[in-house]
A and B are shown apart, each in its own frame.
Chain A
Amino acid sequence: MSLLAIIFVAILADNIVFNQFLGICPYLGVSKRLETSLGMGIAVIFVMAMSAVVTWLVYNYILFPHLVYLRTIVFILIIAGLVQLVETILKKTNPTLFRALGIFLPLITTNCTILGVAILNVQAEHNIIETIVYSISVAVGFTIALVIMAGIRERLDLANVSSLLRGAAVSLVTAGILSLAFMGFKGMMTL
């Protein structure tokens, strides 16, 4: 499959948030302000690309073919360790980036999107190049979802919302409508 198709499907047609319903927690939790949602998105792109490569290597060279059932636990272990490692190194070598990513790095450790993409990569039997492209595209799709949501919610804060719907309710309704809108891409292409 061509890499362009992977990019299109990962960002739009099979958006991780809107169509696969992974990463809903940060999608609703970190989308109150545009600035923070962008920070989160960039941190996810960063961690996703890195963890996908490492998990792919571990899966294909250590787990495959006899220990495939250890996949989930090993991936969690690797992702958690990796994020911690990156955080430690960043703190020393690049304090500016460390501060920019801030609280999002440790939050991402337990993000289901990261684990989900690691598993999707090995399930789809991507090679290493496809893995990198797919992971970054998914993370970009996640960022787009987050930024769209944050933009809408910033406006919702100012809008005159009925007291019945105010707060979480209207956010969930918005998320649903957005998800429906993205369903439109689904028919265009699938992997």
Chain B
Amino acid sequence: MNIVYAFAVLGGLGLLIGGLLSYAAQRFAVEEDERVEIVADVLPNANCGACGYPGCINFAEKVVAGDAPVDSCIPGGKAVSDRICEILGLETVASDVRKVAVIFCLGTKDVAPDKFEYHGVPDCKAAMMYGGGFKVCEYGCLGLGTCVEACPFDALSMGEDGLPVVDWERCTGCGICVKACPRGVIRIMDVDQPTRVVLCNSKARGRATRNACEVGCIGCKACVRACPQEAVVVEDFLAYIDPAKCNFCGECIDACKRDIIKELDLTKEPDLAKTV
């Protein structure tokens, strides 16, 4: 008799819970757009957050609902954006601008000396808390590789000379490393056509930069005078080149006494640091 009770209680409870669940499943059904799944499959699924949403699935939800622009996925670029448009039946909108991260510092271990020996946690952000970093230069790369750790695409590696190297094949221009770098050394550049860049981040005065680093921009304005297009400006003792005005004549490269203006050309040598 006991076994009948046991059977009845267990079976009854199972039936009750099963019934409740199936009732709830119908009563509280949430309609999910099946396109969300399809869009999520197209996305890189790196969950990098460059689109402004915490993960790829959240972006997929928003884009299907029409709340996010279809070309927000930076790592996916035009290819992914076109696929999304295809799925959602929209006109293609994305431009095919290739973006990569560029390290705006040439201060290797040899040319940019240390202020003191740092034996702390091997992380740039931690090093910054200690006297504002261990390099004499207050703007340059510390070379502890916080950006390398942060990169979701394995596009960054730490070179032997103490500067990170960007693998342009892998870099998607997502900008995660830009946020990770406590010194703001990394910038995202459009590299569709060759550009000239001043590879320095030092906003210190000329003399201070000269003491801190052999390859820092001292704001001498030789490049400004040399440029026939007036594309170069010096702000805070640091030269910038306006890619819109630059006609790639190369005068500034010859004029720079510190030899820190480089050609940024995706089709050529991808490793800028090695062209020094």
Binding site for B on A (CB under 8 A): 58, 62-63, 66-67, 70, 73-74, 77-78, 81-82, 84-85, 88-89, 91-93, 158-160
Given A81-B17, A88-B21, A88-B25, 17 more A-B residue pairs with CB atoms under 8 Å apart are: A62-B9, A63-B9, A66-B2, A67-B6, A70-B9, A73-B10, A74-B10, A81-B21, A82-B17, A85-B17, A85-B21, A88-B24, A88-B28, A91-B28, A92-B30, A93-B28, A158-B121
Question: Quick check: A81 and B30 within 8 Å, CB to CB?
Answer: no
Interface of B is mostly: helix
Query: B13 in the interface, Cβ–Cβ < 8 Å?
Result: yes
Query: B230 in the interface, Cβ–Cβ < 8 Å?
Result: no
Chain B interface size, as a band, is: 20 to 34
Nearest to B29 among chain A residues (CB) is A92
Question: Quick check: A84 and B21 within 8 Å, CB to CB?
Answer: yes
Contacts of A77 in B (CB 8 A): 10, 13-14, 17
Question: Quick check: A158 and B24 within 8 Å, CB to CB?
Answer: no
Known: A158-B121, A158-B126. A70 touches B28 (CB 8 A): no
Question: Quick check: A85 and B24 within 8 Å, CB to CB?
Answer: yes
Contacts of A73 in B (CB 8 A): 10
Contacts of A82 in B (CB 8 A): 17
Can you give 8 A-B contacts (C-beta < 8 A)?
Answer: A62-B13, A74-B9, A74-B10, A88-B21, A91-B30, A92-B30, A158-B126, A159-B121
Alpha-carbon distance A62/B8, docked complex (angstroms): 11
Query: B122 in the interface, Cβ–Cβ < 8 Å?
Result: yes
Known: A92-B28, A158-B123. A85 touches B10 (CB 8 A): no
Question: Quick check: A67 and B25 within 8 Å, CB to CB?
Answer: no
